[in-house]
Structure 1
Amino acid sequence: MKKIGILFGMENTFPNAFIERVNSKGESGIIAEAVTIDKVIQAGPTEYAVIIDRISQDVPFYRAFLKNAAISGTAVINNPFWWSADEKFFNNALAEKIGVPVPKTVLLPSKQRPENTSETSFRNLAFPMAWEEIFQYVGFPAYMKPHDGGGWKSVYKVVNPQDMWHKHEETGQLVMMLQEEIEFEDYFRCYCIGQKDVLIMPYEPRNPHHLRYATEMKTTGEAREKLLETIRDYTLKLNVALGYDFNTVEFAVRDGIPIAIDFCNPAPDADIYSVGPDNFEWVVEAAANMAIERAKKQIPGQTNLTWGSFINDAVSIPAVAPVPAVAQPVAVEPEPVATPPVDTAKEVKVKAVTPKKATKAATAKAPEPVAEPEPKIPTKKAAVTKAPAKNSKIKKS
C-alpha cells in the first residue's frame, strides 16, 4: 500500500477535498490521508510515498522533516531542498535567461549590517553605490521588496529616490530589491501542476483578497488567444526551469506582453473562498491526479524529487576530458663500475676538522616580523544606503 500524505496548517477546504478526491478514484494500492508525525529520526524513512507540502514554508521543523523524508525515498511536493534555496531575485535572473519577460530589477544591500559583521566585512562594497545608474535603469515609481520574501510582506511603493531612502530605513537587515512598476491592462494568476497542467485565471491584485478573482479578461479577439497561448508557454517554461510541481505564476500584461511578476509559491492559495468554486475544482482534480501519478512512479529508497532544468542541465554538463599522459623516457641504470679492493691492513688516518666560528652576520638576530597593515576600509558606513552628495546628478523632488 502506497500512502499519499498532505501536510498543512490552518487551511481547511483544500486538504480535505484533496484527500477525498484521491480516495474517491479507487486506485488500487493507493490511499491519501493527513500526515502524522510522532518522531523524526535521522535517515529514518516515513510511511508516505508522496507528501504534498502546504505549510513548511512557515514551520522550520516541518521543513527539516521533509528533507529527511526525501533522502529516504518520499516524493515531496514541492522539492524542499530547491525552494529553501530559491529566492525572487534569482528567479528574475533565471527568467530573463530563458526568455520570459520580467520587470527591471536590482539588488540593494541591507540598511543595517548583519549581526556578527563589521565595517571590514564590507570592504568590497562601493560607497556610495552607483545610484544614478540604478535609478535610471529601474525608473520611478517602483516597488521595493525583500529579495527572498513573499506574501506581500515588507513591500513598499516608492516614487522617487528620497522616498526610497526614507522607507529603506524601516527594512533593518533585510536584503531588498528595487523593481520597476508595471502599468498593466490585464493581470493573470496561473496555476501549474505537474509541470504540464495550466489554469489561467484573470486576477486583480488591487482588489480586496476575497475579490481578486472576481474579474474578467479585458483583451479580446485574436489578441486574446495569442496572449493566452503565450502565457501558458511562459508558465510552463518557468516551472520546468525551476522544478516546481505545484505553483502559481502571476503576469502583468503591458502593451500586449505578459511580464512575469511572481512565480515562487511553494504553497499557493487554493482556498475555495478565495479562488472560487470552479477554479477550486480544477486545482483539486489536477493535484489529485498528479499525486497519484507520482505515487505510482515512486521507487522506495531512491530519490524521488523533482529538479528543474536549471539544476539538471548543470549536473549533465560533461566533465572536462583528461589530458592524455605523455610517455616519459625510461631511465636505464648504468653498468656497475668495479672498485679496487681496499687494503685493510693499512691504517687509514682521518684528519679531524674543527668547525669554524660563526661569523657576525650569521650570529646576528633575525629581523622582527613586520606586522600586517590594517586593511583599508573604503567607508565608515558600509552596507548602509545614503543619499548622494550635494553634487549628485539626482534631482531632489
Structure 2
Amino acid sequence: MADVEHTIGLLLGTEDDWPRAYEAMLRRIGAVTDDQGRTHVTRSVRVTIEPFNLRDSPRHDLVIDRLAYWYYHPREWLKKIALMDDVYLLNSPFTFQAMEKHAAYCAMMRLGLKVPETVLVPFKNPLDNSRYAYTSGRYNQPFDLEALAESVGYPMYMKPYDGGAWVGVSRIRDVGELHAAYDASGERLMHLQAAIEDYDVFARSLTIGPETMVMKFRPELPMHERYAVEHDFLTPAVGDEVVAISRVVNAFFRWEFNSCETLIRGTDVHPIDYANACPDVAVTSLHYYFPWAMSALLRWTVYCVVTGRKPRLDTDTSRYFAIADDPSLSYAEKLDGYRRLADDYFEIDRYQEFCAKHLGHVDDVVADWIGSEEFRLLLGSTVREMYPPHEHERFLGHFNGLIDAWLRDHG
C-alpha cells in the first residue's frame, strides 16, 4: 500500500483521445517517492456533473478542466473546490473573463509586449435587452467606423473579443470588407486589430505548467498539417522570448494549460492570441508533438499532487506592473523581470530537481506506450471517428508516419 493516494479529476467535454492516453500512461507511472521517503500513487477519474452542496468535500486533489470555459455549472463547482477545499486547478476559473481576449490584450499591453494596435467597437445590432434602447439612446455615442479603421490601418483583422478556433475572424483589406464584416458581426462584440504583414514565422507555443513547446504553425493549411515538424526555425534569442512571453502570460493569469500564438517579423515578437482555456492537444492535430504534451502533463500533474502544491488564487498583478511602469528599464529588462516572477510562480528549480530525482522514467513510459499496440488502436479509432471512410487509409498512414518519426527521433 502507498503512504499517500491522490486523485486527479478530468473534467471533459467531447474529446476522448488525449484523456485515454493520459489515463493509460498515468497508470504506468506507478508509485513515486517524495523527498521524505513516502510513496505516492496517483489515479485519474472522469468528473461527472451533478448537484453539489457547497460544503461537500471533493475527492480530488487536482482537476484538469477542459469544459468550464463554456459550461457554467462545472465552473461554479471549480470555484467552490478552489476556494473552500484547496483543490489544485491547472487554469484558474477566476480569470476566465480574461480568456475572452480583451483583458489579456490590456494586461499584456500594460506590460509592454508588442501586441498589435487594437480597438474595441460596439455591437452592430441592438442587444436583446429591454433596457438597451433607453441606455443606447442616452449614452451611446455615434462613431465613424471608417475613421476607426484608418486609425488602426489596413490590412487588419476583425475578431470577436471572446473568440476561439478562429470563428468569426475576418481579414479586412478595404472599406467594403470592413462594412461587410461589421454588418455580419450582429450582436458579437468585435475587436479591430492591425495585421502584422510580411511576418517570417507564425509560432504557436503550448505551455503545460513550467514546460513549453514552440511549434511552427501554418494556419492556411488543414488542421492535420498546421503544425510543421521543423526544429530550429527560430533563433535562440527569439525562441527564448517566445517561451518567456508564453510563461509570463500563464503565470500572470494563473493559467497552466494554455497556448500562445505569436508572429515573428525579424527579431520582433508580436503576441496576437494568448488566452485559450482549452488548448488543442488532439492527437490528430499535434501528432508528432502529442507525446511531448502527454509527458509534460503527466510530470506537472504528478508533481503538483505529490508535493502538495497549493493554488495561488491571488494574481500579484502589482508586482508585474511595478516592473512595467519603471521607465529606467528596457523592454528586454522588463521581460527578464517578468520571467523571474513567472519562474518563481512555477517553482522552476524545485520542479526540475523533483523531475530529475523522482520522475525521470516518465519519458520512457510515454515512449513505450506510444510504441504500443494500445496507442495504435486509440489512433485508429480516433481517425475513424473524425474522417469519412474513404479517407481512413490516407490519414492512418499520415499520422502513423508522423508518430513513427517521433519514435525514431526519441529512440
Provide TM-score, normalisation by structure 2.
0.68
Match of 1:204 among 209, 218, 224: 218
Question: Counterpart of 1:50?
Answer: 62
Instruction: Tell me the residue number matched to 1:80.
Output: 93
Is residue 2:281 matched to residue 1:270?
yes
Tell me the residue number matched to 1:171: 185
Residue equivalent to 2:102? 89
SS at match of 1:261: strand
Which residue number in structure 2 is paired with residue 188 of structure 1? 203
* Residue identity matched to 1:281: P
Query: Equivalent residue for 2:295?
Result: 285
Aligned position for 1:239? 250
Contact 1:240 1:309 in 2 (8 A): no
Task: Give CA deviations for 1:194-230 in whole Å, capped at 9, x if unaligned.
Answer: 1x2111111111111111013546856xxx2221122
Kindly report which structure 2 residues correspond to 1:308-327, keeping only aligned pairs within 5 A, or say none.
Answer: 308-310=315-317
1:123-164 Cα distance to aligned partner (Å, 9 max, x none): 3332134752x2233111211111122111111222223321
Partner deviation per Cα, 1:329-387 (whole Å, 9 max, x = no partner):
xxxxxxxxxxxxxxxxxxxxxxxxxxxxxxxxxxxxxxxxxxxxxxxxxxxxxxxxxxx
The structure that has the greater radius of gyration is: 1
Contact 2:121 2:191 in 1 (8 A): yes
Q: Which moved more, 1:11-20 or 1:45-54?
A: 11-20
Write the mapping of 1:61-76 to structure 2, written as runs, cut at 5 A.
61-73=73-85, 74-76=87-89
The match for 2:339 is none
The 8 Å contact of residues 6 and 51 in structure 1, kept in 2 or not, is answered as yes
1:143 corresponds to: 157
**What is aligned with 2:26?**
22
SS at match of 2:107: helix
Q: Conserved in 2, the CA contact under 8 Å of 1:146 and 1:155? A: yes
CA contact (8 A) 1:248 1:268 kept: yes
Question: Matches of 1:148 and 1:284 in 2, distance apart?
Answer: 28
Secondary structure at the counterpart of residue 264 of structure 1: coil
Counterpart position of 1:338: none
Tell me which residue corresponds to 1:230. 241
Q: Higher helix fraction: Structure 1 or Structure 2?
A: 2
Deviation per residue, 1:27-72 (Å, 9 max, x gap) = 3143222223454223322110100011222322322222232223
Are the aligned partners of 1:242 and 1:307 in contact in 2 as well (CA < 8 Å)?
A: no
**Equivalences for residues 30-49 of structure 1 within 5 A:** 30-49=42-61
Given that residues 97 and 103 in structure 2 are in contact (C-alpha distance below 8 angstroms), is that contact kept between their aligned partners in structure 1? Answer: no
Alignment match of 2:227 (pick from 210, 213, 228): 213
What 5-or-longer segments of structure 2 have no aligned partner? 33-39, 322-411
1:105–1:152 CA distance, 2 compared to 1 (3 A): same
Q: Percent identity?
A: 25
Paired residues in the alignment total: 305
Q: Superposition RMSD on alpha carbons, in Å? A: 2.4
Corresponding position: 1:113 with 2:123: no
Match of 1:2 in 2: 6
Aligned in 2, Cα 1:257/1:312: closer, same or farther, shift over 3 Å? closer
Aligned AA for 2:43? Answer: I
Q: Which SS does the other structure have where 1:266 is aligned?
A: coil
| Greater RCO (Cα-Cα under 8 Å, separation 6 or more) | 1
Summarize deviations over 1:234-280 as a string: whole Å, max 9, x none: 22222222221111111111233121111111110111111113x11
> Within 5 A, what are the aligned runs for 1:382-397?
none
After the TM superposition, list the runs of 4 or more consecutive aligned residues in structure 1 that deviate by more than 4 angstroms. Answer: 217-220, 311-314
* Deviation for aligned residue 1:118: 3.4
1:296 and 2:311 equivalent? Answer: no
User: Is the CA contact 1:3–1:47 (under 8 Å) kept in the aligned structure 2?
Assistant: yes
